[in-house]
């Protein structure tokens, strides 16, 4: 039997080695050059990259081929990623899907509590009792365990469109539905990582190293799959949005991006900051047509979300009722640090004794806006080039979830999955650094430590919820700082 305990250690070594090889192939000086031939090779390679970008290769890789010497590394990283998939496939079957059970229960609420408003607390209590009685009569240990955990009340806090998705996908067979949901989530995460790495320009070795790290040493992914949440699917949506912005001048891509992000926000509003930062960036870069096209797509997305929720739920899940439930969220539901909440506003608010959400969002968005303003001044009011728009858009899409986690009062550990695009973008930016000991490199290393903090905190005997959520939040803060640092004129393609 394979010993999975040594894999995270082996993974960290291979990831460091892959980054080293990646930077070396890109022509970056890891150590001082010993001959003029090294500088000439770097210049030739940079020339090929520029030619690729000018010829329409969005990733700037025209004329480049993977080095034969890197094949063994790719094989090792691919093997680690495959082991990670196998390990995660086994581990995700062992936990109680306490989140998925609620989504699944609300999806079938029309048959259990017909005509009742699902956002009423009393409805949630009746639904929990009725489903518990049914679960006790069915030979499904997974469903019975989840029903007993949620025996007091089904917490209904997501949007009507969110529950419409689960109602449409529900077959009535809990075990089959749960298995399919977990497998789709795992597949979505793997494919989203590969697509994001390709779109932002990561070398294959770096993308595979990141994927192996996520699968072997990234607890938020494990939480998402075991509990049956949807953050892996949200990551896939972000990957699609990044791909759509690869060619900013195509009108249909802007419309489609607006529609996709609109549906994403109506599905789960924790991605609203992605859309907000994109519009902010387009404003600074003078992309008025992008704003109009995306607004058209967003309107289409809103109509689709409204129609789907009306057809599948009707008056039992109105948007007005959802807004009312949100206004009483902290009063009616347990959302404290003890439950794993790592929202930046929650962590700071518990210390200050007041809610700093508005102030934090102003600061975080303000820092990003200042960097965009500096960038605007650097190009002197001239129209932003395609390469610059593409770079800025990828950074803003990736920064959105980090701003939401750090600036709001509710964010659960599995929300950190949504920072995976930012992690990959920052890894790609390391190619421009002369040393891994640079500011960007150190921030990425700090993010790695935060993302895997549960492992080393457990080893140190620190299992307190506050220590775990604080370490993870600090890792996301480091990643946000790396992302904002990358929004510098000298680090972007003009």
DSSP three-state, residue 460: coil
Prediction pTM value: 0.85
DSSP three-state, residue 228: coil
CB 260 within 8 Å of CB 239: no
Domain identity same for 446 and 409? yes
Q: Which domain range does residue 147 map to?
A: 98-178
pLDDT in tens, 191-235: 999 999 999 999 999 999 999 999 999 999 999 999 999 999 999
DSSP three-state, residue 165: helix
With 80 as the cut, is the pLDDT of residue 464 above it?
no
Domain identity same for 77 and 132? no
Ordered DSSP codes for 113-125: STTS-TTSHHHHH
Question: Any idea which residue has 């924790």 for tokens?
Answer: 270
Domain identity same for 80 and 118? no
Domain identity same for 213 and 153? no
CB 202 within 8 Å of CB 61: no
Domain identity same for 250 and 103? no
CB 257 within 8 Å of CB 245: yes
CB 175 within 8 Å of CB 166: no
CB 135 within 8 Å of CB 149: no
Instruction: Report the alpha-carbon distance of residue 313 to residue 333 in Å, rounded.
Output: 23
- Asked which of 178, 201, 218 is the last residue of a domain, the reply is 178
Instruction: Report the alpha-carbon distance of residue 444 to residue 417 in Å, rounded.
Output: 15
Domain identity same for 429 and 341? yes
**Lowest-confidence pick of 31-35, 243-247, 464-468:** 31-35
Instruction: Report the alpha-carbon distance of residue 217 to residue 214 in Å, rounded.
Output: 6
Other CB atoms within a 10 A radius of the CB of residue 142 amount to 18
How much is the mean pLDDT over the chain? 84
Q: Is residue 19 part of a domain?
A: yes
Instruction: Report the alpha-carbon distance of residue 223 to residue 109 in Å, rounded.
Output: 25
Domain identity same for 168 and 278? no
Domain identity same for 161 and 188? no
pLDDT in tens, 153-195: 999 999 999 999 999 999 989 999 999 999 999 999 999 999 9
With 70 as the cut, is the pLDDT of residue 55 above it?
no
CB 369 within 8 Å of CB 273: no
Q: Name the H helices within 228-287.
A: 231-244, 251-267, 272-284
* Tally of structural domains, the chain: 2
Domain identity same for 155 and 193? no
């Amino acid at each position: 039997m394979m010993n999975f305990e040594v894999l995270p250690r082996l993974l960290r070594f291979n990831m460091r080695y892959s980054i080293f090889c990646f930077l070396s192939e890109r022509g970056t000086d890891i150590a001082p050059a010993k001959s003029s031939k090294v500088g000439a090779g770097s210049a030739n390679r940079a020339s090929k990259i520029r030619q690729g970008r000018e010829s329409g290769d969005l990733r700037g890789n025209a004329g480049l081929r993977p080095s034969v010497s890197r094949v063994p590394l790719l094989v090792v990283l691919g093997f680690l990623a495959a082991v990670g998939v196998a390990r995660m496939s086994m581990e995700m079957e062992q936990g109680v899907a306490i989140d998925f059970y609620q989504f699944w229960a609300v999806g079938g609420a029309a048959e259990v509590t017909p005509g009742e408003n699902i956002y009423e607390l009393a409805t949630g209590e009746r639904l929990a009792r009725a489903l518990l009685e049914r679960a006790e009569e069915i030979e499904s240990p997974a469903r019975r365990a989840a029903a007993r955990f949620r025996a007091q009340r089904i917490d209904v806090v997501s949007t009507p469109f969110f529950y419409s998705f689960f109602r449409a996908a529900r077959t009535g067979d809990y075990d089959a539905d749960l298995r399919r949901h977990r497998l789709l989530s795992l597949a979505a995460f793997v494919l989203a990582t590969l697509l994001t790495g390709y779109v932002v320009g990561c070398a294959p070795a770096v993308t595979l190293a990141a994927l192996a790290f996520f699968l072997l040493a990234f607890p938020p992914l494990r939480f998402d799959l075991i509990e049956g949440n949807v953050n892996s699917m949200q990551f896939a949506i972000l990957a699609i949005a990044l791909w759509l912005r690869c060619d900013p001048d195509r009108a249909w891509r802007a419309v489609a991006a607006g529609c996709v992000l609109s549906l994403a926000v109506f599905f789960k509003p924790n991605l609203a900051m992605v859309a907000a930062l994109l519009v902010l960036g387009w404003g600074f870069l003078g992309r008025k047509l992008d704003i109009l096209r995306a607004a058209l797509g967003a309107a289409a997305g809103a109509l689709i979300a409204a129609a789907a929720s009306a057809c599948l739920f009707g008056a039992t899940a109105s948007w007005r009722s959802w807004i009312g439930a949100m206004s009483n969220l902290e009063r009616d539901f347990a959302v404290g640090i003890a439950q794993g909440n790592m929202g930046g506003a929650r962590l700071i608010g518990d210390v200050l004794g007041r809610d700093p959400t508005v102030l934090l969002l102003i600061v975080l968005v303000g820092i990003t806006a200042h960097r965009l303003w500096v960038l605007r001044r650097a190009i002197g009011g001239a129209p932003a080039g395609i390469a610059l728009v593409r770079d800025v858009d990828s950074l803003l899409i990736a920064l959105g979830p980090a701003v939401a986690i750090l600036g709001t009062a509710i964010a659960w550990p599995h929300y950190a999955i949504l920072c995976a695009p930012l992690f990959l973008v920052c890894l790609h930016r390391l190619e421009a650094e002369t040393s891994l000991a640079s500011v960007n490199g150190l921030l990425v290393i700090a993010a790695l430590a935060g993302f895997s903090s549960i492992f080393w905190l457990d080893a140190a005997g620190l299992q307190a919820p506050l220590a775990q959520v604080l370490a993870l939040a600090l890792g996301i803060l480091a990643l946000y700082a790396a992302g904002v640092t990358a929004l510098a004129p000298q680090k972007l393609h003009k």
